[in-house]
Structure 1
Amino acid sequence: MHFESPSRRRFVGKMLALAGGSAVPFTLNLAAMGNAAAEGASDYKAIVCLFLTGGNDHFNTVLATDSASWNEYKRLRTTPDSGSIALPGVGAPGGVLPIVPNNPQAGRTFALHPSLRPLKDLFDAGRVAVLANVGTLVQPLTLAQYKAGGAALPPRLFSHNDQQAMWQSSQTELTGGAGWGGRLGDLMASANGNATFTCISNAGNALYLSGRTVRQYQLGGTSAMPINHLSDTLFGAPAAANPLRQIISADQSDLFQKEHAAVTARAINSQAALSGAMLGAGATGVPDPLPFISPRTGAATVNPLAVQLQTIARIIGGRNALGVKRQVFYVSLGGFDSHDFQALNQPDLLAKVAHAMAYFDSALANLQGNDMRKQVTLFTASDFGRTFASNGDGTDHGWGSHHFIMGGAVKGKNIYGSMPVTGVGHDLDVGSGSLLPTTSVDQYGATLASWFGLSATQLADVFPNIGNFSIRNLGFMG
C-alpha cells in the first residue's frame, strides 16, 4: 500500500487551492463519511468570516461611556492622532453612538464609534451582538500566571502572521495545518452534492478555509476565475476547434502531469458550474451596494468589502443549483495596523465594515424572495486588539479585542463576555492597556460551530483547545 508523505499532501493541497479544486479525487473524505450532523443537514446554513487584517483598535470600536470609563479614556487618549472621539452632544456632531444591551453590566454604559451607525441600527434591531475581549488562548489565564511564566501561551504573541494563524487555525503560521473553517468543511461536506463549493474564499488563499480533505475554492472578486481563451478562435479556426482545453486537461502518463491535468479539468468544470449557478448582480439578481460615502472626505466610492459580500450573497442564491447545504465563506478588509494616522484612517475603515455588513443583511433579507438572514451568520475576526495607551500617532499591537456577530439566528442587542475596565494597570492589562483575553477564539468558534450542526465530539476535533475551557457555548446563537 502506498502512503503519501505529509509534505506531498501539503504540496497537492496548495495546488488544489490555487486551482479552486477539491481534494476528493486525491483522498477519500473519510471525515465526512457517515457524519450524522452532515447527513441531517436538510436545511441550509452558512458561516461568513470577515477578517479585519492588521489588528483593529477595538477600544475605539466599542467604548465604555460611564463616567469613570470615559474620564480614563480622555486621560489616556488625548493626542490628536490617538483616535479620541467625543461623547454624544459634545463638540462636533461626530459623537459616539450609545447602545443599550438587553443584558446590561451594572454601572456601565456603552457606545459604538461614530462611523458605525449602520451597525448600531442592526444592534438595536436585535441582529448584531458584541463579543467582548476575545483572543487567542490555549487555556484560561490570569495576569499573575502570565507574569509568572510557565503557563501555556499562544506562541509568538503580538506577531501579525502568527496571531492571524492562531485566530484562523489554533496553530502558528510555521506549523501549517488546517484552519477551523476548513475543518468545519471537512465534517459537513457530505451534506453537499458538490464538496468543491463547501469552503469559498473571496479574499485570496485563506488559512481559515484550509481543510484536511476539503480544499477552499477561491473567487476573483465578482466571479469564479476562468482559464482564459478556452473558447477563443485559434489561427482563424472556429472556437469549437480550439485545442487548448485538450492540451491542458488531457490525461497524461507522467504522474505529475496527470495530477496537474486533473486539477485543471476540475477547475474548468467547477468554474462553469459556479458561474452557471450563482445569481447575477444588479437589478436582475443581487442588488449592487449603494456607493460608500467616506466620513472623512465625503467622497462616494465603491466599497470592495461590500462587493465581496455581494458575491457571497450571489453564491448563496445559487445554493440549490449547486446542491449545497453547508458552506463556509471568508472575506477580508485590510489596513487596520494603525501604528500611524489612526484618527485619519480608522473612521473610514470602520465605516466600510458597517456599510458592507448592513448591505449584506439587506441583500439576504430578500434573496430571490427568501429571507436568508436566519440561515447565514457573519462574524468578525482580526489579528489581535491594540494597546489602550496611544503611541502619539496611533496604537500598537495588543491581544484581546471586541468583535461583532450578525445574523437572524444571533441573539442580538447583547454584549457577551465581560467588558474590561477602561484604562491601564488593571488585572487584565499585560502592558500599555493591552488586554489579557477573557474569552478564547476556540469558545467563539465552537459557539458558531454548534449552531452549524457539530456535536460535542466534533467540536473537540475542530477546536483542539476547547477541552481546557468549562464554557464551550457562549450563548449568542439562537
Structure 2
Amino acid sequence: MKRRDFLKQSTLASSMFFVPQFLKAFELGTNTTFSNKKVVIIQLKGGNDGLNTVVPFENDIYHNARKTIALQKSEIIKIADGVGLHPSLAPLRNLYDKGFVSIINNVGYPNPNLSHFRSTDIWQTASASNEYLQNGWIGRFLDHTKAESYNAIEVDESLSLMLKGKHQNGLAITNPKMFYSSLREPFFNKIVNNYQDPHLNEHNLGYLYATMIEAKSSSKYIFEKTKTKSQTATTYPKNILGKQMKTIADFVKSGLETQVYYAGLSGFDTHANQQNQQSNLLKIYAETMEAFVNDLEKNNVFDDVLILTFSEFGRRVHQNQSFGTDHGAANNVFVIGKHLKKNGLYNNLPNLAQLDKTGNIQYEIDFREIYATILDKWLQVDGRAILNKSFSKLQFV
C-alpha cells in the first residue's frame, strides 16, 4: 500500500469516528482481574435540580426560595418524614420500595466549578477542582487491570473522557452489528493485510495499525457474544435513553465480559421554565430505569449489576426570574442495586440554613468516595491506585 493512499484512507476513517474517537486500543493481553461485577453509569447532563428531585417538602426555606417552582406536599411521592420524590419518579419509587435504591445526598467536591464542561471533566477524571487530568477514572481502571478495550463501553457515537486511559481506552458503540460490519470493510482489511508495510513504522503509523487490529478483534468478540438475543423481552421507552439502556441490557444478558457501561440523558440545564422540562426528563429517566432493572431481573443477571446516576452539579436553592434555577454545587446521587447494604436515604438532606458563601448547598460527601467504594468494594480493585489518592469508603455496598 502506498503511503499516500494509507494516509488518505486513514484520514477518512478518522472522520467517520472509527479512529480515534471510537477507541484507542493496544494489545495489552487479557484482563487478569476480571470479575462478574458490572457498573452502569448514567449522567443526567446539564445539572439536574436535586432539590426538586428529592424534595424537602416541609422545609420553609425551600418554599420561600422557590415561590413558583417549589413542589407541594400534594404533588410529591412521600418516602420519609418531610421527604418526597418528584411525581415523575413514580417508577423509581417502585424500585425504592423493593430496597433497590440508595439516595446519597450532598455529593460534591471542594471549591466547586460551575461550568458544565469543567465540572463534567472533574467528575469524569476524578480530579480536584484545580487539577487537570488527561485521562478518566474508568480509563485508568482499564490501564490498571490491563483490560481489553471492550471492558468499558459507552453507548454513544463518540468516547467521553471518562473512558480514556493513558494506555487503553474503552469503546463507543451504538450498534454492535454495525460496528462489526464497519470494521470488515475492504479498507480496514487492506490495512491489516499490509501490516508489514515499512511506511507504518517509518512514519509512526504502527499505532494506527495496532488500533485497527484491536478494534477488529473487539468488534468480532462483541458481535459474536450479542448476536443471540435472550428470549425474555422487555419493552423500553421509545427515547434515546431507552435505546441506550436496552443495548446495555442486551450486552449484560449476552455474558459480555464488560465491567463498565456509560450512558447519558441531556437537557437538565433548566435556567428557564424548569417545571415541565425537568418533569419530562425525570419521567424518561425513571421509566427507563424500571424497564432496565425489570429486564435484568427477568433474565437473572441483576445481582451483579450496580447502577450509578450522577449530574455534574446541582442547581441554586433560589429560583431565578425566568422560573428556573441557575448552576449550583452539591447534589444527590442515586445508586441502584439488588443487594445494597444501606438503601433508602443514605444520609440527611441538605441543610438549607447553612449554604456556602455563594448561596449553594455545601457538599458533605466527596464524589470520589463513591468512586472509591465502587472500585474497592464492588469491582475489587485498588481504588487508591486508580484515583491517585485514598478516599473514605461508604457503606452502600
Please report the TM-score for the alignment, with normalisation by the length of structure 1. 0.72
Inter-partner Cα distance in structure 1 for 2:145 and 2:137: 12
**What secondary structure does 1:275 align onto?**
helix
- How many residues align structurally? 374
Alignment-derived partner of residue 246 in structure 1:
189
- Out of 151, 154, 163, the residue aligned to residue 201 of structure 1 is 154
Indicate which of 91, 101, 105 corresponds to 1:132: 105
Q: Retained in 2: the 8 A contact 1:210–1:216?
A: yes
| Cα separation, 1, equivalents of 2:235 and 2:224 | 22
Question: Which of 320, 323, 330 is the equivalent residue of 1:391?
Answer: 320
1:401 — aligned with what?
331
CA drift at 1:285: 4.5
- Counterpart of 2:7 in structure 1 is none
Residues 45-81 of structure 1: per-residue CA shift (max 9 Å, x gap) = 1011101111100010001133xx1x332222123xx
DSSP 3-state at the match of 1:421: coil
Q: Secondary structure at the match of 2:114?
A: coil
- Tell me if 1:411 matches 2:365: no
In the alignment, is the contact (CA less than 8 A) between 2:89 and 2:283 conserved in 1? yes
Note if 1:165 corresponds to 2:110: no
Determine if contact 1:279/1:314 at 8 Å carries over to the other structure: no
Alpha-carbon distance in 1 for matches of 2:177, 2:357: 44
Q: Residue 114 of structure 1 corresponds to which residue in structure 2?
A: 87
Deviations 1:191-250 (A, max 9, x none): xxxx1211111133111112233311110257552454946xxxxxxxxxxx54432333
2-structure distance, mates of 1:247, 1:384: 47
Q: What amino acid is the match of 1:379?
A: L
Give the conservation status (yes or no) of the 8 Å contact 1:373–1:409. Answer: no
1:375 is aligned to 2:304: yes
> What secondary structure is seen at the aligned counterpart in 2 of 1:18?
coil
Match of 2:141 in 1: 184
**Residue 74 of structure 1: aligned partner:** 63
Describe how 1:49-448 pairs up with structure 2 within 5 A: 49-66=41-58, 69=59, 71-79=60-68, 83-88=69-74, 95-100=75-80, 108-137=81-110, 153=111, 157-171=113-127, 175-189=132-146, 195-203=148-156, 204-220=158-174, 225-226=179-180, 228=182, 230=184, 243-249=186-192, 250-251=194-195, 252-254=197-199, 255=201, 256-278=204-226, 285=231, 287-291=233-237, 302-319=238-255, 322=256, 324=257, 327-367=259-299, 371-392=300-321, 393-411=323-341, 413-422=343-352, 426-432=353-359, 434-448=360-374
TM-score, scaled to structure 2: 0.85
Q: Deviation of residue 374 (structure 1)?
A: 1.8
Structure 1 residue 15 displacement after superposition: 8.1
Post-superposition offset of 1:330: 0.6
RMSD: 2.7
Q: How far apart are 1:189 and its partner, in Å?
A: 4.5
What is the Cα deviation at residue 267 of structure 1? Answer: 2.1
Go from structure 1 to structure 2 and tell me whether the alpha carbon gap of 1:114 and 1:50 turns closer, same or farther (over 3 Å shift): same
User: Which residue identity lines up with residue 123 of structure 1 in the other structure?
Assistant: Y
* Matched-pair contact (CA < 8 Å) for 1:133–1:402: yes
AA partner of residue 67 (structure 2): T
- For 2:297 and 2:146, the matched residues in 1 are separated by 26
| Secondary structure class of the residue paired with 1:387 | coil
SS for the counterpart of 2:21 is helix
SS of equivalent residue, structure 1 residue 340: coil
Q: Contact 1:286–1:314 at 8 Å: present in 2 too?
A: no
Asked whether the equivalents of residues 165 and 207 of structure 1 are also in contact (C-alpha less than 8 Å), the reply is: yes
- Check conservation: 1:289, 1:307, Cα contact below 8 A: no
Q: 1:222 to 1:122 in 2, by over 3 A?
A: farther
Identity between Structure 1 and Structure 2 (%):
25
How many Å separate the matches in 2 of 1:228 and 1:278?
Answer: 16
State how far apart, in whole Å, the 1-side matches of 2:166 and 2:365 are.
26
Match of 2:26?
A: 23
SS at match of 1:289: coil
Shift in CA distance, 44/454, structure 1 to aligned 2, threshold 3 Å: closer
Amino acid at match of 1:344: N
Q: Is the 8 A contact 1:279 1:315 kept in 2?
A: no
Task: Please give the secondary structure, in 2, of the residue aligned with 1:175.
Answer: coil
Deviation at 1:318, TM superposition (A): 2.3
Displacement of 1:462 after TM fit? 1.9
Q: SS at 1:333's partner residue?
A: strand
CA contact (8 A) 2:47 2:268 kept: yes
The 2-side partners of 1:418 and 1:229 are apart by 50
Residues 334-363 of structure 1 show CA distances to partners (whole Å, capped at 9, x for unaligned) of 101111221120001011111111111011
Deviations 1:246-280 (A, max 9, x none): 32333122224433233223323322221121155
1:86 deviates by: 2.3
Distance in 2 between residues matched to 1:415 and 1:357, nearest whole Å = 18
In structure 1, the gaps of 5 or more residues are 1-10, 89-94, 101-107, 138-152, 232-242, 292-301
